[in-house]
């Protein structure tokens, strides 16, 4: 009965939830600048009786909304930042709203709104059934670039929570059990000497040479690191013009590995390569640490609760118009490209999806023990409390995400169905944890077992602040939708 109260509220308020999601989709605000999106979510929660604390962890667009009193405290997270350059209308062919502007290429307009819907529906059921405890919504900005959750974790906002739920748009419906790669981000600043590149090259010391030599060394090192590790870099600055030996150059590195301590070992080797580049190029360098995320700690007991609720609710089904939309949106992909995209699911029977465009089933998690090669700031939350971020079908099976295709899906009925399904799943699972002490105990016992001999230490320097000015300057380089 209690779960039905939550589901009925979501069904009754479906148009309002879709409207909120579509507004955030239209705002398409970049990380740390989600002022309209954050305000819309926070204001809506406040109108529904939540106590809202705004601007937490020195981030104006971060907030926490709470209802209830005492334990258990169940957290629901929501993201709402967009990605640069992915502006797209809700149509199945490439057609930007504003060329070069941001767009929701990871479906975070749905992410934030599904969390909001799940939290409010849980609150309504708690009121009607006199359920004790606290439901807490975490508005978490800048997942895509600056890791807003890192600052919230470091500043203690997850210290007292008993379990945390989150939802993310995806290509399937499931509550996966794989881990993710830990990641750290570093900028290498190299310093040399300017000189005329033709007239007096012997007097110059090229900082760009050092960057390129370092990159070459790292590329040779790749063969000799663990398989699941990943290293990516870009040259952010390499000089002004060819006839001037550049006295400054900068590279930006992401280093990933399944565990943070493995990452530290790889990073020490990268540092030695940077030192070697200095020796060869006659330069010096400094290292600037950026963000860093821990790997995810999965929770099988949470996954069981979520999958059971997904089955009970029933996944969305699609009409002919929606199926045709998704078929059209991926019609330019070859069979080989589709196969390659499906293989990244790492599903033991991924071939069964080959002739399907939209997944309309609930998949039992198949990835226990696997490491997904991406990284997320949800990982840091999972080191503080039992956490699981489940996924629902928002886009075509062949959509690689972070693409205009995802933006289009997230702004139309396929995305809307994903949103409502996820909100119902969040609410019903939160109510399981609030009303069933044995279920919560199993979740927490598993967490304590997995965390045995593990200690979390924030990857952020203690004095590091969210990079608001950098975020503003980055946004200025893109045209924003009006």
Q: Which residues contact 92 (CB under 8 A, 6 or more apart)?
A: 325, 326, 328, 329, 408
pLDDT at 10: 98
pLDDT tens digits for range 303-340? 999 999 999 999 999 999 999 999 999 998 888 988 88
What is d(CA 35, CA 25) in angstroms, rounded to the nearest whole number?
A: 13
pLDDT tens digits for range 30-53? 999 999 999 999 999 999 999 999
pLDDT at 480: 46
What is d(CA 115, CA 167) in angstroms, rounded to the nearest whole number?
A: 7
What SS3 class is residue 133? strand
SS3 percent helix, strand, coil of the chain, rounded to 5, is: 45, 20, 40
What is d(CA 75, CA 440) in angstroms, rounded to the nearest whole number?
A: 13
Q: Are 423 and 112 in contact (CB under 8 A)?
A: no
Task: Work out the mean pLDDT of the chain and round it to a whole number.
Answer: 95
Three-point CA angle 11, 14, 20, nearest 5°: 150
Token pair, residue 300, equals 């099988």
Parallel/antiparallel/unpaired status of strands 284-293 and 371-372: unpaired
Torsion of CA 259, 451, 155, 170, to 10 degrees: 60
What is d(CA 474, CA 480) in angstroms, rounded to the nearest whole number?
A: 12
Answer whether residue 479 shows pLDDT above 80. no
What SS3 class is residue 179? strand
When comparing pLDDT for 481 and 391, which is higher?
391
Mean pLDDT of 44-63: 98
Least confident of 135-139, 289-293, 363-367: 289-293
pLDDT tens digits for range 72-125? 999 999 999 999 999 999 999 999 999 999 999 999 999 999 999 999 999 999
Q: Which residues contact 284 (CB under 8 A, 6 or more apart)?
A: 190, 191, 278
Closest CA to 126 of 435, 426, 422: 435
What is d(CA 196, CA 246) in angstroms, rounded to the nearest whole number?
A: 10
Q: Are 143 and 77 in contact (CB under 8 A)?
A: no
| Number of Cα atoms under 13 Å in the Cβ half of residue 369 | 2
Token pair, residue 260, equals 């943070």
pLDDT tens digits for range 246-268? 999 999 999 999 999 899 899 99
Q: Which residues contact 338 (CB under 8 A, 6 or more apart)?
A: 330, 354, 397, 398
pLDDT tens digits for range 205-242? 999 999 999 999 999 999 999 999 999 999 999 999 99
DSSP annotation string for 200-257: -GGG-B-HHHHHHHHHHHHHHHGGGS-TT-EEEEEEEE--S-TTB--SEEEEEEEEEE
Percent of the chain with pLDDT over 90: 88
What SS3 class is residue 481? coil
DSSP annotation string for 267-281: HHHHHHHHHHHHHHH
Mean pLDDT of 173-190: 95
Question: How many other CB atoms are there within 10 angstroms of residue 6's CB atom?
Answer: 27
When comparing pLDDT for 11 and 473, which is higher?
11
For the chain, the C-alpha Rg in angstroms (whole number) is 23
Please give the domain boundaries of the chain with CATH numbers for all domains. Answer: 2-180+295-476 (3.40.630.10), 182-293 (3.30.70.360)
Mean pLDDT of 378-399: 96
Provide the greatest CA pair distance for the chain.
84
| Number of Cα atoms under 13 Å in the Cβ half of residue 149 | 29
Q: State in Å, rounded, how far the first CA of the chain is from the last one.
A: 45
pLDDT at 481: 45
């Amino acid at each position: 009965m209690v779960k039905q109260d939550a589901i009925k509220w979501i069904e009754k308020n479906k148009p309002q939830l879709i409207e909120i999601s579509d507004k955030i989709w239209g705002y398409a605000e970049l990380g740390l600048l989600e002022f309209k999106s954050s305000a819309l979510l926070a204001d809506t929660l406040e109108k529904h009786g939540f106590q809202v604390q705004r601007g937490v962890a020195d981030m104006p667009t971060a907030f926490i909304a709470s209802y209830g009193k005492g334990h258990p405290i169940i957290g629901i997270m929501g993201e709402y930042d967009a990605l640069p350059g992915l502006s797209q209308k809700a149509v199945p062919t490439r057609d930007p709203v504003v060329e070069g502007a941001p767009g929701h290429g990871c479906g975070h307009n749905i992410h934030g709104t599904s969390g909001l819907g799940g939290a409010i529906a849980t609150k309504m059921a708690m009121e009607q059934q006199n359920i004790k405890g606290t439901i807490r919504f975490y508005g978490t900005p800048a997942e895509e670039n600056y890791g807003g959750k890192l600052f919230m974790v470091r500043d203690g906002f997850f210290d007292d929570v008993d379990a945390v739920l989150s939802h993310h748009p995806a290509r399937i419906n499931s509550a996966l059990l794989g881990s993710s790669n830990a990641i750290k981000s570093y900028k290498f600043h190299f310093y040399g000497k300017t000189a005329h590149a033709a007239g007096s090259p012997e007097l110059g010391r090229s900082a760009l040479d050092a960057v390129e030599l370092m990159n070459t060394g790292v590329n040779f090192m790749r063969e000799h690191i663990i398989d699941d590790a990943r290293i990516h870099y870009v040259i952010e600055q390499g000089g002004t013009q060819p006839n001037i030996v550049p006295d400054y150059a900068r590279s930006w590195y992401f280093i990933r590995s399944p565990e943070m301590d493995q990452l530290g070992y790889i990073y020490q080797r990268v540092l030695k390569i940077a030192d070697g580049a200095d020796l060869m190029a006659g330069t010096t360098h400094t290292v600037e640490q950026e963000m860093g995320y821990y790997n995810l700690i999965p929770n099988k007991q949470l996954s069981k609760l979520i999958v059971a609720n997904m089955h009970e609710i029933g996944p969305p089904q699609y009409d002919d118009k929606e199926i045709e939309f998704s078929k059209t949106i991926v019609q330019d992909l070859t069979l080989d490209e589709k196969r390659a995209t499906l293989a990244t699911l790492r599903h033991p029977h991924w071939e069964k999806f080959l002739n399907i465009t939209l997944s309309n089933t609930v998949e039992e998690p198949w990835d226990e023990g696997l490491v997904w090669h991406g990284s997320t700031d949800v990982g840091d939350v999972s080191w503080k409390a039992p956490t699981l971020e489940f996924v629902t079908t928002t886009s075509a099976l062949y959509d690689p995400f972070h693409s205009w295709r995802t933006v289009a899906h997230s702004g139309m009925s396929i995305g809307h169905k994903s949103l409502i399904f996820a909100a119902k799943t969040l609410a019903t699972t939160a109510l399981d944890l609030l009303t069933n002490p044995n279920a919560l105990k199993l979740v927490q016992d598993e967490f304590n077992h997995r965390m045995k001999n593990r200690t979390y230490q924030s990857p952020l320097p203690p004095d590091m602040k969210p990079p608001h000015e950098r975020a503003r300057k980055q946004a200025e380089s893109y045209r924003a939708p009006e």
